[in-house]
Copies of this chain bind each other. A is one copy, B any other.
Amino acid sequence: VAGVHFRTDDPPETVAARALRVNLSDLAAMGAAPAYYTLALAIPHGCEDKWLDAFAKQLGEDQVTFGIGLIGGDTVSTPGPMTITITAHGSVPSGGAVRRSTASPGDDIYVSGHIGDATLGLAVLNGELKDIAEKDAAYLTDRFWFPSPRTTLGPALRGIATAMVDVSDGLIADLEHICSASGVGAEITIDDVPVSSAARSIITDGLFPASALLSGGDDYELVFSAKPSAGGDIERIARNSKTDISKIGAIVAANKPVVRILDRNGKAVSTDQHGGYQHQW
């Protein structure tokens, strides 16, 4: 919904890319390969053809990139804001979907790519990070606008990840979803959480609190648990899918689905609601 889920002045190609890719990320998080999608578009009065042209062109390009086709939907007119409904369908072998509810104490916790770039990209768009290098600003904005759904990695982790979600609400919040569904807790070492060099320099310069990256959303990376014995398989999958995968912690037995954040010495970090910790990068 324009003005709610995207900014009304976001370029149309970014709206298209995010609308489709966040759905592909949901599929990847269950180990599903993209199959097809439907699109229902409620177009406000006065929407210009060139907006729709750019929107459609990006969708067309993404269809090729991610190997998914548009099979149907609807286009209607609305007196309200632009409303885009995409439903993506994917496939897994019968019984092969990766769930949230099947993590066990002792499992390692991994995350793909980098955490926090999207949060910083949004901050750039909101004018909150004016003093950073232009190159970094462009990189971070691009990460927010064009997330990389892990459509190859997700299916490759079937049978290896014991539980998986994608990072849409934020690393901690989404990991808590696994903990809650699996009846476990988690411990992650903050210094092991992978960040980009752009993010690293912003944190180092004290322009943004490191811990805010753990609670920021929109990364669309995969966070998953796996048996320690799967380490070799995961290294091989990372290589084959050309995706960085970082081990960031472990699933632990717990009465509450709490994610504890540890420093490099294994000491619990007080994060002041995940807002106050200064990262040691």
Contact = CB atoms under 8 A, between A and B. Distances in A.
B38 A87 contact: yes
A280 interface: no
A83 to B, nearest CB: 5
A42 interface: yes
* Copies in the assembly, this chain: 2
A1 interface: yes
Contact of A83 (B3, B5, B42): B42
Contact of A74 (B78, B81, B85): B85
A138 interface: no
A79 B83 CA distance: 11
B78 A4 contact: yes
Interface string A53-91: 000000000000000000011101111110101010000
B87 A40 contact: yes
Interface in A173-189: none
B5 A85 contact: no
Nearest to A37: B87
A5 B78 CA distance: 10
Given A1-B42, A40-B40, A78 B85 contact: no
Q: Label chain A's interface by main secondary structure.
A: strand
A40 B42 CA distance: 12
A262 B77 CA distance: 36
A1 B4 CA distance: 17
A78 B83 contact: yes
Interface of A: 1, 3-5, 38, 40, 42, 72-74, 76-81, 83, 85, 87
A126 B79 CA distance: 21
Nearest to A80: B80
Contacts of A77: 1, 4
B76 A78 contact: no
Given A78-B80, A80-B80, 7 more contacts: A1-B42, A1-B78, A4-B79, A38-B38, A78-B81, A79-B80, A85-B85
Nearest 10 pairs of A and B residues by beta carbon: A80-B80, A40-B85, A85-B85, A1-B78, A38-B87, A80-B81, A83-B83, A42-B83, A1-B76, A1-B42
A204 B1 CA distance: 49
A207 to B, nearest CB: 32
Contacts of A72: 87
A102 B63 CA distance: 31
B87 A3 contact: no
B38 A5 contact: no
Contact of A73 (B79, B83, B87): B87
8 contacts: A1-B80, A4-B76, A40-B87, A79-B80, A79-B81, A80-B81, A80-B83, A83-B83
